[in-house]
Amino acid sequence: QVQLQESGPGLVKPSETLSLTCTVSGYSIISGYYWGWIRQPPGKGLEWIGSLSHSGTTYYNPSLNSRITISVDTSKNQFSLKLTSVTAADTAVYYCARADALTAGKIDYWGQGTLVTVSS
């Protein structure tokens, strides 16, 4: 059974960097699929942040492009999100997820989500 689990600080100060890690169990990241991040501000809709292919190619949302880095640690079967220069607008539940390599919108496994609040 594939499982994804987000981890990282729940509180980040404005202008600092948000860092989250997704630990994948039940499937090897390097075996295939795309691995990505989606967020949801409290009470609002879903926003795709970016994805990473099993070969290391990244796709980022241009609205966040200059602030995002998604990377992978194959030795730990984890992938990570870094979002720099955060503001209150980055307060959201952050989900990590697995998507089909050929059908990028076929996101079949999700983490439970982790709330990150940006506040001083």
Residue (of 58, 118, 111) closest to 90 by Cα position: 118
Enumerate binding residues for another protein (CB under 8 A).
45-48, 51, 59-63, 95, 97, 100, 103-108, 110-113
Coil vs helix vs strand at 82:
strand
Name the CA dihedral angle for 59, 95, 68, 88, rounded to a multiple of 10 degrees.
140
Coil vs helix vs strand at 18:
strand
Nearer to another protein, 38 or 72 (CB): 38
Nearer to another protein, 33 or 60 (CB): 60
Closest contact distance (angstroms) between CB of 103 and another protein is 6
Which residue's entry shows tokens 């989606």?
Answer: 38
Closest contact distance (angstroms) between CB of 5 and another protein is 11
Nearer to another protein, 62 or 120 (CB): 62
